[in-house]
Amino acid sequence: MDLTQFTVATWIGASLALVPALGIIAVGISYLAWPTAVSQGFGFTTAITPEVTPWQHIKGPRDIASGLAVLAMLVFFGPAAAAVILLVEVLIPIGDALMIIRNHGRLSAALGIHVSTAALMIVAAVLLFL
């Protein structure tokens, strides 16, 4: 990667992109290690039951792969590619927030965790395009 292509906006965008990328990798690892405990912070208000265990196991690898995709795009293909993948992946936290709201979960989690993550991803993508 040619670092001369990075402007101040790009450096800020890359820094902002690292927050959700590294954060979601950590969340994914946590889902693999402690699925029930981590699931309780997702935003749903219903009890975590054995019926949702398969979902917990699916979420960990999904989150790890999502974060690694952003990092790979940034390192190997540059800022514009990372911006594109961020804009595609913004559907994940938006979908998560909508699922929480639809199922009468905690609005504070839907907005404070998932929608704010989506907003950060959009800002990072815009800065990476500059």
Q: Which amino acid is at 71?
A: L
Q: What is the pLDDT of residue 37?
A: 80
> What is the pLDDT confidence band of residue 2, given thresholds at 50, 70 and 90?
low
6-24 pLDDT, tens digit each? 789 989 999 999 999 999 9
51-100 pLDDT, tens digit each? 777 777 788 999 999 999 999 999 999 999 999 999 999 999 999 999 99
Give the per-residue SS3 of the chain. Answer: CCHHHCCHHHHHHHHHHHHHHHHHHHHHHHHHHCHHHHHCCCCCCCCCCHHHHHHHHHHHHHHHHHHHHHHHHHHHHCHHHHHHHHHHHCHHHHHHHHHHHHCCCCHHHHHHHHHHHHHHHHHHHHHHHC
In this predicted structure, the answer to whether residue 50 has a pLDDT above a threshold of 90 is no
Distance of CA 23 to the CA centre of its chain: 7
Residue ranges per domain, the chain? Answer: 3-129
Rounded to whole angstroms, how far apart are CA atoms 122 and 79? 13
Q: What is the pLDDT of residue 36?
A: 78
Rounded to whole angstroms, how far apart are CA atoms 19 and 4? 22
